[in-house]
Structure 1
């Protein structure tokens, strides 16, 4: 499951909410990646610095994008031999004053959808 979430460049092929993804830098346990999203008529692009703590956590911090701040944490808790519980916490502050609350709510909804989508993708990939 960790590898599915960490494979940022595959997001556009797997998920309708992602129109583009690019790893800009990879150095040790740090990855800088750009995502182009599409949901609810909003098409944000942003870059995050991701700290990889295989196989338990992926922590994201905003580098560039339409937000004042964006912090995210994927966590993976083993459940027996062949399963895990995934959680995604997202905290963001939109830089634009117009519609900022709606965009924040939309992103929180997208975060929930992402967890569900990764669960479905894991089922397809791993059975």
Structure 2
């Protein structure tokens, strides 16, 4: 199963980066391949966590696919977990971690593993997804610079 993992140091706090990644409605503005994203529902839990269900449409050339995910925001832990619910994947797991550093910067961890239901779609989209994931970190860092300043 294809996977991608990266940790990157950025010039923003863990809390700011958590909030930026948690603001999924803004993804179409800056996330590679994200054509649209709509939140179906959002629920705040008693322990401070927030859960939302979202539909994200990714597009590349003539290929366009929509999938549904459950996103769990854990601000007290600086963790975001994404659980795949429906769409073109057989499986998709995604985890973000945000850790403050003593120098005022933070380390952002990104992990994703996925498998398409269709081998043909996997062959067509696989290499493109890998390239897109490699651009995710810089897209989020650039967005943070734009939102929070450099």
Asked if TM exceeds 0.5, the reply is yes
Where does residue 5 of structure 1 map in the other structure? 21
Task: Find the counterpart in structure 1 of residue 78 from structure 2.
Answer: 56
Q: CA RMSD in A?
A: 1.8
Q: Which of residues 119, 124, 127 is equivalent to 2:146?
A: 124
Cα distance in 2 between the residues matched to 1:5 and 1:103: 23
In 2, Cα distance between the equivalents of 1:75 and 1:30?
16
Tell me what 2:114 maps to: 92
Match of 1:35 among 51, 56, 66: 56
Q: Which runs of 5+ in 2 are unaligned?
A: 1-16, 45-49
Instruction: Give the aligned length.
Output: 127
2:82 pairs with 1:79: no
Asked which structure has the greater RCO (Cα within 8 Å, sep 6+), the reply is 2
Q: TM-score, normalised by structure 2?
A: 0.75
So what's the TM-score if we normalise by structure 1? 0.88
- Shift of the alpha carbon at 1:41? 4.6
Whichever of the two has the greater Rg, that structure is 2
SS in 1 for 2:118: coil
Deviation larger for 112-121 or 74-83: 74-83
Q: Which runs of 4+ in 1 moved over 6 A?
A: none
